[in-house]
């Protein structure tokens, strides 16, 4: 049934929806008990955040910078709690740049 399903292109989503998607991935990562699924969801969070940054830059919309920074910070916190210190530090730096 789902064999032909691929991830939807984030480029078609608005800035707000792209950020909402990133937060959904982040929330699911928090709830995941499987380390591999956790990392995939963190990666999906990062991918959505990267797309949100592109949309914000393209549209010159800075209104969501605080939300993007907060999601990067949340991703950093979660990765730190799970023992991924280097990745956590990198996302905290991204948060500081946006915030």
pLDDT, tens digit (0-9, with 9 covering 90-100), for 18-58: 999 999 999 999 999 999 999 999 999 999 999 999 888 88
Residue 17 lies inside a defined structural domain of this protein: no
Domain that holds residue 45: 36-98
Instruction: Please indicate, yes or no, if residue 50 is contained in any of the structural domains.
Output: yes
CA-CA distance, 52 to 38, in Å (whole number)? Answer: 21
Q: Classify residue 27: in a domain, yes or no.
A: no
* Residue 28 resides in a domain: no
18 part of a folded domain: no
Is residue 20 included in any domain, yes or no? Answer: no
Query: What is the average per-residue pLDDT within 2-6?
Result: 46
Residue 25: inside a domain: no
22 CB-near residues (< 8 Å, 6+ apart):
45, 48, 49, 52, 71
Number of domains in the chain: 1
What is the pTM for the complete model shown? 0.87
Q: Pick the closest to residue 78 from 48, 35, 14 (CA basis).
A: 35
**What is the average per-residue pLDDT within 73-98?**
94
As a whole number of angstroms, the distance between CA 66 and CA 84 comes to: 24
Evaluate whether residue 1 is within a structural domain: no
* pLDDT surpassing 50 at residue 83: yes
């Amino acid at each position: 049934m789902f064999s032909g399903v691929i991830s939807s292109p984030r480029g078609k989503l608005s800035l707000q929806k792209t950020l909402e998607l990133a937060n959904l991935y982040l929330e699911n990562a928090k709830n995941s008990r499987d380390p591999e699924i956790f990392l995939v969801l963190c990666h999906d969070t990062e991918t959505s955040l990267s797309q949100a940054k592109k949309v914000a830059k393209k549209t010159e919309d800075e209104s969501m910078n605080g939300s993007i920074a907060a999601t990067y910070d949340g991703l950093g916190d979660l990765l730190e709690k799970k023992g991924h210190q280097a990745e956590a530090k990198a996302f905290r730096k991204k948060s500081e740049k946006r915030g």
